[in-house]
Amino acid sequence: MSGAIRLTFEYRGRHIELVGSEPVDLVIPDAPAGQQGFSVGLPQGRADAQPDVSVGYRVDVLNARGKRIHSRPLDDPIRAEAEVRSTDPDRPFTHEPINQPKGRFFVLVPALAEAKEVAVLRTTVRTQTVGRYQLGHGTEGGGS
Amino acid sequence: MGTGDGTVLGTTLIHDSGPTASRWNLVLLSEGYRSSEMAQWHTDAQFFVSQLFSIPPFTEAAVQGRINIHRVDVTSTGSGADDPASCGGTGATPKTYFDATYCTGGLARLLTADTSIVQGVLTAQVPAWHQALVVVNSAKYGGSGGTVAVTSTSADWVTVAAHELGHSAFGLADEYESWVSCPSETGHDSYTGTEPTAPNITLDTGRTTIKWAALVRATTAMPTSRNADCAVCDPQANPVAAGTIGAFEGAGYYHCGLYRPAFNCMMRNLTPFCAVCQGVIRRTLQPFERTLRAVDVTSTIIECVFDPSGTAVPEDIAPAIRIAGATGSGSLQSRLYPRGIAGSAGAGKYPYEYRVDMTPVSGPLPASAVRTLSLDFGPVSRVDYDGTGGADLFVTAQGGPGTIRPVSVTQRGNRLTIDFGTPGVAAGNSGLLLGLTSDHPPRDTTARITDGAGNTHTLATRAPAFPTA
């Protein structure tokens, strides 16, 4: 039995779609300590606890009642700007906006029997659901 | 352009630490290398491995042992990548397998590949991939991030790739304080948001509450540095000794209001990862299994490594192993010695020894044998037990009791598992004494053994009192 699901998302601008979910036999990396909102290995008693309010994106796995059963923060998945090398050796990076950002990103989540949906959320000052997607087999439909 | 412009030749495991299903899998894919350039690709891939493994904590056996690096050989009809003239490039449009191009989104240095084609190759070649790096055969600077990252082979490309891995594989934020450039820019004076998710930048300067509090010394000022003028990047030099962990203002693209753990770091200016980021990388890889390196030693190992005086007195416990259907009881011997004395190879470290003894037992196989022994040992200290450069485990193969050696000793997270194979330590036999070293003093805990019938037994043992935070 596969230990994980690899979710494949595509984005165009700020619009995100789940385009695939494939079972994969691998170990999921652990959460860095201090990385708030991460729930790999979250004890059962804390599974529905409110995640810490932290700036950034995360993916939640939801059961049939819409209750979160897993949560995973994401390194900024939407590349609207690019980190590029500068000529300053002391500050070797700078940022430039990307015209018409589009791309694909991948998220590993545990293969949980009760998982029915995944949601992509973004927190700035408050948390917004960017998209909510039915989980199935193989290629998925778009988000809501 | 695309998959018709080349061939996937196959995959080679160029850093093989064990089964792919239990390791963190980094996949290198070649792009823009013609068939005649495959030797160069192999050289570039090997260069990547040697360079990455020279950057702490990737230098550590416990980190390398959890990583597999796969090299996927993909030939292209053309060499390099598209280099549009609209960004000042050469206008070249070589036919390459992953359609790599500079000038993505109008940015000259943004080098991308067709991620869907990359994903297809990954699924076919290394389905258990965690991080992919498409290496483009071009000396012109360029790259892009993500779990499918792209890099050219320009100067210091491996260091830049390590910075990118910090983001995409380990969730690390940028620790520099500018968005576009220093000294001044608008909109990045002071951060006013909530606590960032990333483990290496923070709003919090509390000595006991900061994310990396365990690494802050009592003598380090908190915050360690402040930016006197938030309209510009902080111009001051490092006010403390290099490598000091504290709270340095200026991080996450803001001149003020966000703090980083060290003055310099890979995530700031491509210097080595700071201690906080190193810890994050280690912890992220903790769930992956590694195989411990074992060496054979003689029964004088304690004198040789920990106490040359030969006066160290062992302290044993040996709870009984009773297996249903077998006659008599075996034991799990847990042996402690005092901390290594000053001047010895194991100075300041604690040796631990374990032995499964089924000598007094009789009964039918497979049930009356011990197959595995597991316990939470925590970090294993690598020690040069036999002059061959360091090992995780010593097996007292001469001068000690027992004859049965393990077929493998692995660690996943803090859990150590000693596998004696089949039949295992059978009735009437004893395992060899197996030793490990820790930086931490002992505690009373439990170990689990499995017998040949698949039953689990929980027994008292001693193991290091390692920190769990």
Say if residues B326 and B367 touch (Cβ distance below 8 Å).
yes
CB A92 to CB B194 under 8 A?
no
Q: How far is B91 from chain A (nearest CA, A)?
A: 20
- B445 inside 8 A of chain A by CB: no
Q: Nearest 10 degrees: CA dihedral of B264, B266, B267, B273? A: -80
Contact with chain A for residue B116, Cβ under 8 A: yes
A52-109: per-residue pLDDT in tens? 445 678 899 999 999 999 988 887 788 888 888 887 777 888 888 888 888 999 999 9
Between positions 17 and 76 of B, the ones with CB within 8 A of A are 20-25
Structure confidence at residue A43 (pLDDT): 35
**pLDDT (0 to 100) of residue B137:** 98
ipTM: 0.84
Quote the percentage of chain A above a pLDDT of 90.
35
The CATH H-level (homologous superfamily) assignment of domain B3-168 is Collagenase (Catalytic Domain) (3.40.390.10)
User: By CB neighbour count within 10 A (0-12 exposed, 13-18 middle, 19+ buried), where does A125 fall?
Assistant: exposed
Bridging pattern class, strands B148-152 and B131-136:
parallel
Give me the pLDDT at residue B310, please.
Answer: 87
Contact B261, B235 (CB under 8 A): no
% of chain B surpassing 70 pLDDT: 100
CB contact under 8 A, A56 and B197: yes
**Nearest chain A Cα distance for residue B314, angstroms:** 37
Quote the CA–CA distance of B352 and B434 in Å, as a whole number. Answer: 8
Banded model confidence at residue B185, pLDDT cuts 50, 70, 90 = confident
The pLDDT, as a whole number, for residue A14 is: 84
- What mean pLDDT is reported for chain B? 95
Helix (H, G, I), strand (E, B) or coil at B293: coil
User: Model confidence over B32-84: pLDDT tens digits?
Assistant: 999 999 999 999 999 999 999 999 999 999 999 999 999 999 999 999 999 99
Distances (CA, A) of B111 to A75, A82, A84, B16, B71: 19, 10, 10, 29, 20
Helix (H/G/I), strand (E/B), else coil: A59: strand
Instruction: Supply the pLDDT for residue A51.
Output: 46
Nearest to B176 among A93, A100, A125 (CB): A93
Partner-chain contact A26 B21, CB within 8 Å: yes
For residue range B208-245, list pLDDT tens digits in order: 999 999 999 999 999 999 999 999 999 999 999 999 99
* 3-class state of residue B251 by DSSP: strand
In the predicted model, is pLDDT for residue B253 greater than 60? Answer: yes
Cα-based angle A60, B118, B285 (whole degrees, multiple of 5): 50
Cα(B153)–Cα(B44) distance, integer angstroms: 8
For B434-449, what is the HEC assignment? Answer: EEEEECCCEEEEEEEE
Mean pLDDT on B87-97: 97
Closest CB from A24, A92, A99 relative to B128: A24
Compute the count of residue pairs across chains A and B with CB atoms less than 8 Å apart. Answer: 152
Give the closest of A31, A105, A123 to B147, CB-based.
A105
* For range A118-138, the mean pLDDT: 80
Q: How many Cβ atoms sit within 10 Å of the Cβ of residue B384?
A: 13
Residue B288: CB atoms within 10 A of its CB come to 26
What mean pLDDT value characterizes chain A?
Answer: 77
Q: Hey, where are the domains in chain B?
A: 3-168, 172-286, 292-464
Per-residue confidence (pLDDT) for residue B1, from 0 to 100: 67
The whole-number average pLDDT for the span B359-367 is: 94
Mean pLDDT for B457-464 is 98
Summarised one tens digit per residue, pLDDT across range B271-297 is 999 999 999 999 999 999 999 999 999
A117, A138, B143 from A70: Cα distances, Å: 11, 20, 32
Residues 132 through 161 of chain B touching chain A, CB cutoff 8 Å: 141, 144-148, 160
- Domain B292-464: assigned CATH number: 2.60.40
Round to whole Å and give the CA distance between B272 and B162. 10
What are the tokens at B303? 């004198």
pLDDT at A143: 41
**Which residues are bridge partners to B110 per DSSP?**
B143
What's domain A4-134's architecture?
Sandwich (2.60)
pLDDT range class, residue B389, cuts 50, 70, 90: confident
